Amino acid sequence: MAGQKRDRSLAVVVIVALGTFMSSFDANAVNMALPLIQRTYGATIATVEWVAVAYLLAVSATLLTFGRLADMWGHKRVYVAGFAGFTVSSLLSALSPTIGALVAFRVLQGVCASLMMASANAVILSAVPASQRGKALGSTAIAVALATCAGPALGGLLAMRFGWKSIFLVNIPIGIVGTLFAALTIRKDEERTAQRFDPLGSLLVATALCAMLLSLDLLSAGMAMSPLVWALLAGGIALVALFFVFERRSRHPILSVRLFTNRVFAAGNVAATLFYVSLFVMVFLAPYFLQGLRGLSPSMSGVMMLPMSVALMIVAPISGALSDRFDSRWFAFAGMIVVAVGETLMGSFTATTPAGLILCTFAVIGVGMGLFQTPNNSAVMGSVPTELRGVGGATLATMRNVGMALGEAISAALLASCMATRGFRLALGAGADVGAGVAAGTGAGAAAGASVVAGAAAWGTAFSYAIHVTCGIAAAAALAAGLLSLARGRAETSNRSSASA
| Rounded Cα gap, residues 354 and 356, in angstroms | 5
Specify the pLDDT at position 500: 30
| Rounded Cα gap, residues 39 and 405, in angstroms | 22
Residue 187 carries which DSSP code? P
Specify the pLDDT at position 112: 93
| Rounded Cα gap, residues 90 and 23, in angstroms | 11
∠ CA 430-436-442, nearest 5°, is 135
Residue 437 carries which DSSP code? T
Specify the pLDDT at position 440: 37
User: Nearest Cα to 121, choosing from 136, 102, 99?
Assistant: 136
**Which stretches of the chain score pLDDT less than 70?**
1-8, 46, 125, 127-142, 145-146, 148-150, 189-196, 216-217, 219-225, 298-299, 324, 386-393, 422-456, 489-501
Count CA within 13 A, CB hemisphere, residue 178: 28
Tell me the one-letter amino acid at 420.
A
Specify the pLDDT at position 221: 58
Which residues, in sequence order, are CB contacts of 227 under 8 Å at separation 6+? none
| Rounded Cα gap, residues 459 and 263, in angstroms | 47
Specify the pLDDT at position 109: 94
E-strand spans in 205-303? none
